[in-house]
Amino acid sequence: MAAEMEPPPLGDAGQTDFREIEDGEGFFVSTVTILESPEPSSPDPPSMPAEGISTNGPKQEDISLDDDPEDLFAEATEEVSLDSPEREPILSDGPSPAITPVTPTAMLTPRMGLGTAEMFERSLDELEEDESGDTFDMHIAVSDPEKVGDGMNAYMGYKVTTKTSMTIFSKNETTVRRRFSDFLGLHSKLASRYLHIGYIVPPAPEKSIVGMTKVKVGKEDLSSAEFVEKRRSALERYLMRTVKHPILLKDPDVMMFLESSELPRAVSTQALSGAGILRMVNKAADAVNKMTIKMNESDAWFEEKHQQFENLDLQLRKLHASVECLVCHRKELSVNTASFAKSAAMLGNSEDHTALSRALSQLAEVEEKIDQLHQDQAYADFYLFSELLGDYVRLITAVKGVFDHRMKTWSKWQDTQLLLQKKREAESKLQFANKPDKLQQAQDEIKEEIEELEGKVQQGEKDFELISKTIRKEVSRFEKERVKDFKVVIIKYLESLVQTQQQLIKYWEAFLPEAKAIA
Amino acid sequence: MEGEPSPRSGACFHQGSFPRAVNVDLQTDATLQVDISDALSERDKVKFTVHTKSTLPNFKQNEFSVVRQHEEFIWLHDSFVENEEYAGYIIPPAPPRPDFDASREKLQKLGEGEGSMTKEEFTKMKQELEAEYLAIFKKTVAMHEVFLCRVAAHPVLRKDMNFHVFLEYNQDLSVRGKNKREKMEDFFKNVVKSADGVLVAGVKDVDDFFEHEKTFLLEYHNRVKDASSKSDRMIRSHKSAADDINRIASTLYTLGTQDSTDVCKFFLKVSELFEKTRKIEARVAADEDLKLADLLKYYLRESQAAKDLLYRRGRALVDYENANKALDKARAKNKDVLQAETSQQVCCQKFEKISESAKQELIDFKTRRVAAFRKNLVELAELELKHAKGNLQLLQSCVGVLKGDT
């Protein structure tokens, strides 16, 4: 059933931005939102401009034409920008309490000495107690990235291991292999199902053409290793956040994703597909609509929360930018320290006073160790702090999206009400019409319409109340998670700083007697 | 005194507030003590108050002060270099020109961008830039002082007439800076000198000591240059990172005040922590600058001065050998023999005089160098330890508080 949700991927038309989108872009950038139309049950989306195929049906498996040419763009299209509240992009449900920090994989060169690996160990003891009293006991690991295939058709496969004691899962431990587009596909399904009724669906990690192309092309350098590691870590966090949401956890697509060994290719996640075009069009339409909806907010809570999230968004983005600067400068510091170390060693070599020469060589060694220290700290800065902030910036975009949906629901309800009123007026006008033969028929028609509309109005009101209630619950859950997340990460980050200082002390303490020994 | 509104004009310092000659280990001697007791920064010049205490008979008083500017220091240095009598000594390197351009530019940019930041941010940045300006100021004072102290400590140079005039004459020395033509002349002189230097250096010396020194100094000078520039870059990155932490602290503070949940306490505490650690990081960078970068820069200049000494000796050697050849020729032709003989005598004397003092100078150079490196490396390590421990304590106490809260 879930498979039917995917409109088939179509040829590539429209614009694509072949660069990594980090921050919000305008609506017309080719952000591929992995969303389809909000109503799962609605009929086919309007025919694709690009190609003739336009069904919402389960034909995707038949479209094999996308497999090869599409592969070029499979991983290479942009994820939704951070600024797209309209379409349900990457939304978050309750964010997970434990930020699962990165465990350095074997792909990374062993620059992780000094026990920093322990710093990043997943905190397995972070369990979450669900409100209803069930213990949440689940642990997902994404590991072993492996390149499959060659050239531009290659992709990264990841191993997803689920360990759980929960009864809804058939096994205690399952391992499957998934690729990036599978994750996007999962998110796309969840988003289309839950976002419009007010659930905060966690956003999936962003696509990156530059990064993936490097990997495809087979560059075995540090930057592509870093890219893969960054992505692996992001995928892990994404899955953990998703399953921590009690509703999403029970979604059949989630279970299928975690358990079934074969998954149908999620091809509608590609930017340049017909679905992609549709998404862009819808996004534009939504943008316009958002501007024209003027909601009478009767609930001060929503007003307040909306403002709060706006403020939080602003500050988090600022913080994120500053932390990224810090990461950059620390990496630079590490490089410069290493280069100074070499220079000091050379100086020591040419110094003809033996004791001084030795001391200078020692200085060079100390500086070399310190450069490593800076590198590790930059790593911590990034994976602990910066990525958390990035995740939350995207999550808040999702939250804002959910608020927007509420607005849309309200608007729909109001529109229906207006329509009902018009019909009623039309009905009363009919009383004074002077065509008795047509009168009865017209009256009956109108009565039918009015009944239907009354039903719709009631439904609209119920929908609105439901979404409001859901959002309240979701926001409170989100806030709880956010507090937990930040607390945990802040402490972890400070501990990384502590460790760096302790190491520094060790190094300088070892050097001091050498310096004093210069006679 | 008058000065422009921003950067701090009339930055005044009083006796004893300067770091003493940090890079050189000098024996100060009661017969002649020189220091810079005060300094004033004006629009584009710095006025140093040179204070002398002496028991030497050639001075009119035992203690006196004059005001000098950078150009006057350069004049004094150049007069040493040009004096043939001092050819056999390492002339203490001239202090670099006070350069506040970068700092001034930053302050100006800050002033222009005032509208775009909050009041707290502005005040904070202004304070920092002012501190930076102050640091540069202190450094330039120290470097001018070191020069004077080196001269005062040198057994021969301290007796120099120009030096005494410099110390005592309380009017303006009317030393104008070099005009364009003179600067061009200097430039060409330098070109010629370096070409000559290469030639002279190619002549193999019979004396092992000097031959070794030649090779050693050449390599050492180059490596010190490299180490100096790399250390500068490293320290700059360090400063940038400290600045980032500053911004992070500000944003965390805003987050903390805005947040209504439990985590606001965390934000505020960490913001406070980062404010403090950032100050420590900035101090680390400043200390590294002082103890490491400045040390390397100074020995870059000193090793150049030592190279110059070797060059002069080499030149004298070449002249001596040429005079010998001329004498032989004259004797062979039996023409102008007396003249050739005198000229050869002069060259010989000159060469031997230089060689004798040069040897001692180079040995002293090594002693000074080793002592200075030792002092600075020890102090560097001690300061790094002090700051790391300070940082550690702040971090640990914060972690303790935060953990207790959760």
List pLDDT tens digits, range B310-328.
Answer: 999 988 988 898 898 888 9
- Report pLDDT digits (tens) over A340-359: 999 999 999 999 899 999 99
- Identify which of A308, A326, A516 has the shortest CB distance to residue B241: A326
Q: Are A396 and A316 in contact (CB under 8 A)?
A: yes
Q: Across the A/B interface, how many CB contacts are shorter than 8 Å? A: 158
Q: How far apart are CA A320 and CA A382, in angstroms?
A: 10
Quickly state the pLDDT bin for B406 (edges 50, 70, 90): low
Mean pLDDT, residues B280-294 taken together: 91
For residue B334, the model assigns a pLDDT of 87
Chain B contact set for A340 (CB, 8 A): 227, 230-231, 233-234
Shortest CA gap B135–chain A (Å):
22
For residue A361, the model assigns a pLDDT of 94
For residue A426, the model assigns a pLDDT of 83
Q: How far apart are CA B67 and CA A321, in angstroms?
A: 49
Chain B touched by A422 (CB under 8 Å): no
Residue with tokens 């992995």: A34
For A97, A172, A196, A239, A289, the CA distances from A36, given in Å and listed in that order, are 29, 33, 12, 21, 18
For A504, B203, B286, B378, the CA distances from B384, given in Å and listed in that order, are 8, 46, 11, 10
Chain A touched by B306 (CB under 8 Å): no
Quickly state the pLDDT bin for A329 (edges 50, 70, 90): very high
Chain B touched by A498 (CB under 8 Å): yes
Handedness of CA A204, A208, A209, A211 (dihedral sign): negative
- Report pLDDT digits (tens) over B115-154: 777 787 788 778 888 888 888 888 899 899 999 999 998 9
Q: How far apart are CA A366 and CA A348, in angstroms?
A: 13
Smallest Cα–Cα separation from A490: which of B241, B388, B264? B264
Chain A touched by B224 (CB under 8 Å): yes
Top pLDDT among B343 and A436 is at B343
Quickly state the pLDDT bin for A267 (edges 50, 70, 90): low
Judged by average pLDDT, the poorest of A152-156, A333-337, A467-471 is: A152-156
Does A353 sit within 8 Å of B233, measured CB to CB?
no
For residue A363, the model assigns a pLDDT of 94
Going by the DSSP 8-state scheme, the letter that residue B293 receives in this structure is: I
- Identify which of A318, A329, A337 has the shortest CB distance to residue B251: A318
Mean pLDDT, residues A164-183 taken together: 85
For residue A62, the model assigns a pLDDT of 39
Chain A touched by B223 (CB under 8 Å): yes
Chain B interface test: which of A508, A511, A514, A516 (most B C-beta within 10 Å): A508
Q: How far apart are CA B292 and CA B170, in angstroms?
A: 36
Q: Which pair of tokens denotes residue B113?
A: 């961008």
Chain A contact set for B247 (CB, 8 A): 322, 325
**DSSP secondary structure string, A318-385?**
HHHHHHHHHHHHHHHHHHHHHHHHHHHHHHHHH--SHHHHHHHHHHHHHHHHHHHHHHHHHHHIIIII
For residue A400, give every residue at least 6 positions away whose Cβ sits within 8 Å of its Cβ, in sequence order, or none: A85, A306, A309, A310, A313
Q: Is B65 helix (H, G, I), strand (E, B) or coil?
A: strand
For residue B177, the model assigns a pLDDT of 63
Q: Are B327 and B338 in contact (CB under 8 A)?
A: no
Chain A touched by B381 (CB under 8 Å): yes
Mean pLDDT, residues B102-112 taken together: 81
**Average pLDDT score, chain B:** 85
For residue B14, the model assigns a pLDDT of 40
Chain A contact set for B263 (CB, 8 A): 482-483, 486-487
- Identify which of A323, A332, A518 has the shortest CB distance to residue B373: A518
The interface residues of chain A toward chain B in range 310-349, judged by CB-CB distance below 8 A, are 311-312, 315-316, 318-319, 322-323, 325-326, 329-330, 332-333, 336-337, 339-340, 342-344, 346-347, 349
Judged by average pLDDT, the poorest of A68-82, A220-234, A430-444, B82-96 is: A68-82
pLDDT(B368) > 70: yes
pLDDT(A266) > 60: yes
Smallest Cα–Cα separation from A195: which of A321, A38, A415, A55? A38
CA A34 vs. chain centroid, Å, equals: 11
Phi-psi region of B336 (alpha: psi -120 to 50; beta: other; left: phi over 0): left
Smallest Cα–Cα separation from B241: which of A380, A330, A334? A330
The interface residues of chain B toward chain A in range 159-218, judged by CB-CB distance below 8 A, are 216
- Report pLDDT digits (tens) over B154-193: 989 999 999 999 998 887 777 766 677 878 887 888 788 7
Q: For B222, list phi and psi in degrees, rounded to 5.
A: -65, -40
Chain B touched by A476 (CB under 8 Å): no
Chain B touched by A378 (CB under 8 Å): no
Judged by average pLDDT, the poorest of A291-300, A459-468, B164-173, B331-340 is: A291-300
For residue A219, the model assigns a pLDDT of 64
For residue A330, the model assigns a pLDDT of 93
Smallest Cα–Cα separation from A507: which of A381, A374, A379? A374
CA B242 vs. chain centroid, Å, equals: 25
For residue B2, the model assigns a pLDDT of 37
Mean pLDDT, residues B323-346 taken together: 88
For residue A69, the model assigns a pLDDT of 40
Mean pLDDT, residues A285-308 taken together: 78
* Count of CB atoms situated within 10 Å of the CB of A203: 28
Q: How far apart are CA B40 and CA B48, in angstroms?
A: 7
For residue A366, the model assigns a pLDDT of 95
Q: Are B135 and B41 in contact (CB under 8 A)?
A: no
For residue B28, the model assigns a pLDDT of 56
Chain A touched by B383 (CB under 8 Å): no
C-alpha angle A85/A90/A93, rounded to 5°?
100
Q: Is A252 helix (H, G, I), strand (E, B) or coil?
A: helix
Chain A touched by B403 (CB under 8 Å): yes
For residue A51, the model assigns a pLDDT of 37
Q: How far apart are CA B302 and CA A196, in angstroms?
A: 75
pLDDT(B395) > 90: yes
Phi-psi region of B158 (alpha: psi -120 to 50; beta: other; left: phi over 0): alpha
Top pLDDT among A350 and A297 is at A350
Judged by average pLDDT, the poorest of B83-97, B143-157, B169-183, B334-348 is: B169-183
For residue A110, the model assigns a pLDDT of 39
pLDDT(A2) > 50: no
Shortest CA gap B42–chain A (Å):
35
Chain A touched by B268 (CB under 8 Å): no
For residue A43, give every residue at least 6 positions away whose Cβ sits within 8 Å of its Cβ, in sequence order, or none: A56
For residue B401, give every residue at least 6 positions away whose Cβ sits within 8 Å of its Cβ, in sequence order, or none: B269
Smallest Cα–Cα separation from B319: which of B187, B196, B146? B196
- Identify which of A333, A343, A482 has the shortest CB distance to residue B227: A343
Tell me which amino acid residue A47 is: S
Tell me which amino acid residue A284 is: A
Chain A interface test: which of B244, B307, B386 (most A C-beta within 10 Å): B244
Long-range contacts of B322-326 (CB under 8 A, 24+ apart): B322/B347, B323/B347, B323/B348
pTM: 0.75
Q: How far apart are CA A193 and CA A12, in angstroms?
A: 26
* Count of CB atoms situated within 10 Å of the CB of A27: 18
Chain A contact set for B378 (CB, 8 A): 512, 515-516
Smallest Cα–Cα separation from A113: which of A498, A500, A492? A500
Q: How far apart are CA A423 and CA A417, in angstroms?
A: 10
Tell me which amino acid residue B251 is: T
pLDDT(A446) > 90: no
* Count of CB atoms situated within 10 Å of the CB of A519: 9
Mean pLDDT, residues A227-242 taken together: 90
- Report pLDDT digits (tens) over A101-129: 334 443 334 344 434 444 444 433 333 33
Bridge partners of residue A129, in order along the sequence: A135
* Count of CB atoms situated within 10 Å of the CB of B244: 24
Q: Which pair of tokens denotes residue B141?
A: 């004072």
pLDDT(B389) > 80: yes
Does B219 sit within 8 Å of A515, measured CB to CB?
no
For residue B29, the model assigns a pLDDT of 64
Quickly state the pLDDT bin for A297 (edges 50, 70, 90): confident
Shortest CA gap A516–chain B (Å):
6
Does B233 sit within 8 Å of A329, measured CB to CB?
no
Question: Edge-to-edge strands of the sheet including B46-54?
Answer: B32-41, B46-54, B63-69
C-alpha angle A384/A389/A392, rounded to 5°?
125
Q: Which pair of tokens denotes residue B326?
A: 């001329």
**Percentage helix, strand, coil for chain A under 3-state DSSP, each rounded to 5:** 60, 5, 35
Tell me which amino acid residue A56 is: N
Cα nearest neighbour of B243 on chain A? A326
- Identify which of B226, B251, B388 has the shortest CB distance to residue A501: B388
For residue A206, the model assigns a pLDDT of 84
Does B234 sit within 8 Å of A483, measured CB to CB?
no
Mean pLDDT, residues A13-41 taken together: 38
Does A515 sit within 8 Å of B255, measured CB to CB?
no
Going by the DSSP 8-state scheme, the letter that residue B289 receives in this structure is: I
For residue A445, the model assigns a pLDDT of 83
Smallest Cα–Cα separation from A260: which of A142, A171, A331, A349? A171
Q: Are B402 and A491 in contact (CB under 8 A)?
A: yes
Shortest CA gap A489–chain B (Å):
11
Q: Are A333 and A373 in contact (CB under 8 A)?
A: no
Shortest CA gap A222–chain B (Å):
22
pLDDT(A258) > 60: yes
For residue B307, the model assigns a pLDDT of 92
Shortest CA gap B255–chain A (Å):
6
Judged by average pLDDT, the poorest of A257-266, A466-475, B373-382 is: A257-266
